[in-house]
Amino acid sequence: MPWTYAMGSRFRSSALSLPIVLLLGLAAPAQAEITPSALDRAKLATIGVLEDTQDQRTPDKPGKLLVRGTGFHLRDGYIVTARHAAEKHDATTGTVIEKQIRILTTDLHELPADLVGDSAFMDVVVYRVAEAHRPKLRATASFASGDVQPGQEVFTVGYPMGWGPTMSFGHLGNTNTFLQTVDTRLIQADVAACSGNSGGGLFNDKGEVVGIMHAIIQTERDDSTAHCSRMAFAIPAILAERIVNAALEGKPLTFSKMGIQMMAVKDGTKWRMAVKEVNEPSKSAGIQKHDIIIAIDETEVDDAKHLKNYLIERTIPGQQVRVKVRRIDTDLTFTVTLAGG
């Protein structure tokens, strides 16, 4: 089944080679009621990302009002959205990130916002509204602390098909799934989402952001630019917040590296990941080629993506981690001081 960025078909890909795994038979956690105040705050914090429809041949004639994506006001004029919702496509220059975008508040104020920083690696971008316009941003949306759980009640606010703002309610499914669009895990949400929802917040019952809307599973097979689905995917807040904070601090975001390449091998009846090549810092720590990676800091490693995701989300360069490996018939544990890059 094909996937598409929630922005539309110009970001479409061919059919996934990896299956999307749903969590079935799990008991949902006790649900907290989504309060009207949480809904109102999320709605007021949500903004639309406007398409540039200005005809350069007639600069005095205003362009049409066309919303192409969604975002939210974090604080102090900082606007967070999906990077692909702010990209500009040009036949000669290719795809570039726009230095300035125009945003639309829920009470119809159109404001300019300037680029602060972005991560193409994770599909997140931060803009800032000039101080003179910030009073028109009536609410903020904070990132939720901690991680999310399958079955958790969530909702999203956005501009599907360029119309809205609308609200959609649902629950989280697989909170540890992967697509070919970004190099980290995504959280699956069973909420209605369409072209234009990209970059919007995925909110919990308190109105806190648990994810940034990234992509949907495309159910149609036509060439239309408008697509909707009830299976959406979001960048986890635990990672998005790191990206945003790095952009606000004006620092490049560095991720931890162990210096190993892995390959799939069969360990009894279970497929596991073995070390194919080993470099620093793992080599100095004692890890060798053909070691089977069992766990990192007591977290079991199922495949290379899970290990990479753990390093991205849970560690920083210079941190020490305990890596459990199986060498022939013996389990060994090594302490690795992570490198950066």
Residue 204: closest CA among 70, 15, 39: 39
Q: According to the model, what pLDDT value does residue 281 have?
A: 96
- CB neighbour list of residue 60: distance below 8 Å, 6 or more residues apart: none
Q: According to the model, what pLDDT value does residue 26 have?
A: 37
How far is it, in rounded angstroms, from Cα 139 to Cα 43?
Answer: 9
- CB neighbour list of residue 66: distance below 8 Å, 6 or more residues apart: 50, 51, 53, 162
Q: According to the model, what pLDDT value does residue 313 have?
A: 86
Contact 283, 259 (CB under 8 A): yes
How far is it, in rounded angstroms, from Cα 155 to Cα 188?
Answer: 12
Largest CA distance in the chain: 76
Contact 102, 47 (CB under 8 A): no
Blockwise average pLDDT, block size 10, the chain, 341 residues: 45 32 38 81 96 64 79 97 87 81 94 90 92 96 93 95 91 89 88 92 96 83 68 93 90 87 88 93 96 93 86 91 94 95 71
Contact 9, 224 (CB under 8 A): yes
